[in-house]
Structure 1
Amino acid sequence: MFIDRVEVEFTAGKGGDGCMSFRREKFVPRGGPDGGDGGKGGSIVLEARVGVNSLAMFANRRFFRAEKGKHGEGSLRHGRKGEEMRLYVPCGTSIIDTADGFVIKDLTHPGEEFVICRGGRGGHGNARFKSATNQTPRQRTLGGDGETRHVIMQLKSIADVGLIGKPNAGKSTLLSRISSARPEIADYPFTTKFPNLGIVDVDQERSFVTADIPGLIEGASEGLGLGHEFLRHVERAGLLVHLVEPTPVDGTDPIENYSAIREELRQYDTKLGERDELVVLTKCELDPDREVFERLQQHFAENKVEHERELFAISAASEIGLHDLVEEIMQRVTRRRQEMLDAGEDLNPIREVDVPTETKPSRRTPPHKSGPTSSLSNDKQARDIPSIWGKQSPMGRTLATPPSQPTPQPGDDDNPDEHP
């Protein structure tokens, strides 16, 4: 189930209370205060992760509460701190404050995280208040409350290419032909009810992510149809591929349909109206005389735009013109990625396996378990290994040469009768 907008409430854990206790032990007349501190409450952390494509885990759960800190105890025993709650969200998730409507954080890069609610501080036990003038303190402090935030989590899909167009323009069919995505395809409007993401592998080294945006209609920017709920998924697409059907089912004019969608994009966000686009005439077998294709070319010549625009004719069902279209998309995506690198921006990995894994540093091997002396034991001493003498030990010292054995002299044997 695809969920791209949820409203949840996060509450961090409360800190544990401090303890008031005195040491009472036999033969210890002056025990003194020994109340321990309470543990800190658990915090809530949101982390963006590749492979998480929806906010479905937040759909059926309205409240998230972290673990509380444990209370302090006697004998100066401090309470255990509450466990941190770490929640994973898709890359491109915006955290919006419900009350004021401002964006708290925008998680766009894999591994990016932030603490949305901090746990409460633990209370102090009475041992904290002892002094020369207050040797029997009877005060303690309670644990602090954890932070609470009521937020809206909104997903804006991060894709290199966004497929836009009227319903039944062939967006889902094109996505299924050039990628491994399998969206629902049917011959009635509004078949796609949520955005579909697909990875297009051009070759072993080149690939890009494509987002199929549900069909837009006139008035989508004002809340009509399904498009108003998903127009935000087009915001982060670097390239727009506008699909135009030559013979719409409703009998409308394809040129007017193209102009209507462009106007809706401009009304929603002026930057979308200036973004580079590829105009694709789908189902080209239904335009054998290229009448609609030539009308589109004439419309572009009469209505100049500042952004880059190019026209293609394809047939996803017959796979006509798909190779040239994919190559052109890949070239533009590569150009945009290079511009992002030149500007100092980071590129998001496409697959989860592309995310670099952090290897934990290995623990240092003790000196007696490394180097030439690692094999020594009670049964195997250094004098039994001639090869290690004269070498440098792990501690930087040179092992001395073993003492030379004295040459046996005549008469030193136990049997003197053998020597005259």
Structure 2
Amino acid sequence: MEPLLRHIVIAIFALSFLVFTVFFGRLPVFRKTPIGFLHRLIWQYFPALLRRIDSAVTGGRIYRYSSRTWNYLLYEKHPLVIIFFLGLLTTASTLLLYQTYTTFAAWHRLLIPLLLPLPYLFTYLSSRTLPNTVVTHSNHSAQVAAYPYDRILFHPNILCRTCRLPKPARSKHCSICGTCVARADHHCIWVNNCLGRENYRWFLALLASTAVVLLYGAYLALIVFLYPRVHDRFTHYDHAFPAGLLSSWAPWPLRLKGFREDLNTVMVESIAVGGISVLGVGLLAALTWPLPLGLLAYHVYLVWAGMTTNEANKWADWRDQMREGNVYIGRIQSPHHGHARATSNSYAEMGGELWPLAPRQMLVRTEDGEIPREPLPPALEGVDPDSWERCHSLEAVENVYDLGFADNLREILRG
């Protein structure tokens, strides 16, 4: 039994790490890390190798058929991933609560119906295309007025070739949804929708609620239900340490010598008491709850930095170009320095910081690595020609969309 259980635990760990790498390894923070390399290995290098083998063996037929299915799953709107996510949550919850619900204390029986529906609710709200999420002809002027152009990541008078509308600052056209998305963060296959100005807050709530539900499920299965029923079979630390040295805080007091034998006893007794369903759900929840929590932590960082995922990718591109030494920063000469309130929503009534009325800096990448020369192109109008300096770090660049963590979060929560 012990090798099988050890293999199950290792398999769950490996699956959790693989899922995290597949879906989140492309984030800018992992670009130069082993996780980023593994993500590229999975998505780029390995498929390219299979494509060459398939081309030599079958003339590329397997690749054509599989790529159609893969493109449908990842690059078209469909509910399959939502069905998988909510179906897995429903199945695991049913398996656990069917055997354990009536054994819990009254406050657990009251708390479970309050927490469990939250991921379903926030998935629904995130998957809806809300009015302020997309850019349309009717709300275009309001979306343009919502954020200033920083003239680094977003420039005025850039026409969306599909929507045929000037792109508001912080927006992005999504080829999957077929529309421009206001304050675009990213297209999320888990909710089958783009995350933007209005529904991004519900996505944050979805991550938080999913992490809480998984952690609470692990606690109910492993600590509340299984531990009291099998705890007498444990070998206490007292065999290896003075009495009370570790047993006062260790919830699972196993002595270090003979750990594997004790672990095997725990697993066998847990299966005998709660069945493989309770133990399996508890282990799965315990090993997977860090995934939504980790993604939530990354998005909290984005809120703190005043960025979206889309903007973080753009800043990462600038950072890579700065390392090549051919990026220059210049000071914009403008009589409009100062701050102005947004006019398209109630942000002006929030009493927080104000959006900068105009950017003070401009970044430019030169092909030859030399300082920009006169005459400057129209996109660089207003830059003091004597102010150009080579830029080596993003720390020297002002992010006009960063109002401070509190105001950034307030603006997101107001939608």
TM-score bracket for the superposition, by shorter chain length: under 0.3
**Structure showing greater Rg:** 1
TM score, norm. by length of structure 2: 0.20
Q: Which has the higher contact order (CA 8 A, sep 6+)?
A: 2
More helix by share: 2
